[in-house]
Amino acid sequence: MADIGKVRVRVPSSIKPGDVVEVRSLVIHPMERIERDPQGKIIQKNYNYINKVVVTYLGKTIATFDTTQSVAENPFFSFTFKATDPGQLKIQFLDTTGGRYEGTADIKFS
């Protein structure tokens, strides 16, 4: 459980200015499913799952994901962005318990 919130971000090894780059990201998170009591009634509680993913590049939000419990455990997300300048790409995962997990990738041109 200590691994919760571990974020991995993968970007291609060589990026040229102006490229549309595909980024793959993964976060270790349990993404709790809905639980039911023996009568089949949904147990009302604050389930711990990621409900928002925010991607920022050069301080500007380029994509957000609003996610629900239908997203798999240890969720994986991929998206693209247009590499215009070298800088930092940051991915934040926010869960329903107030957890905030971040992963970053430095975009450099080669």
Partner 1 sequence: MSRRLSHSRDPRTTKEHNGRHSLTQESLADGHRLTRRAVLAALGAMGVVAAGGLVATPGTAQGQVFGQNESVEEAMKRLFGGKTIKDGSAAIKLDVPFIAENGAVVPISVTVDSPMTPTSWVKHIYVVADKNRIPVVTRATLTPEAGRAYMGASIRLGETGDVRAIAEQSDGTLLQVKREVKVTVGGCGG
CB atoms within 10 A of CB 103: 20
Residue 2 beta carbon to partner 1: minimum distance, rounded to whole angstroms: 22
Residue recorded with tokens 């009568």: 39
Residue 40 CA to residue 65 CA, distance in Å, equals 30
* Of residues 21 and 105, the one with the C-beta less far from partner 1: 21
- What single DSSP character describes residue 18? T
According to the binding rule CB under 8 A, does residue 93 interact with partner 1?
A: no
Residues pairing with 80 in the sheet? 22
Which of the residues 23 through 82 are near partner 1 (CB under 8 A)?
A: 24, 33-36, 42, 44-47, 49, 51, 57, 60-82
Joined together, the tokens standing for residue 110 give 């080669």
| Residue 76 or 109 with smaller CB distance to partner 1 | 76
Binding positions for partner 1, rule: CB under 8 A: 20-22, 24, 33-36, 42, 44-47, 49, 51, 57, 60-82, 96
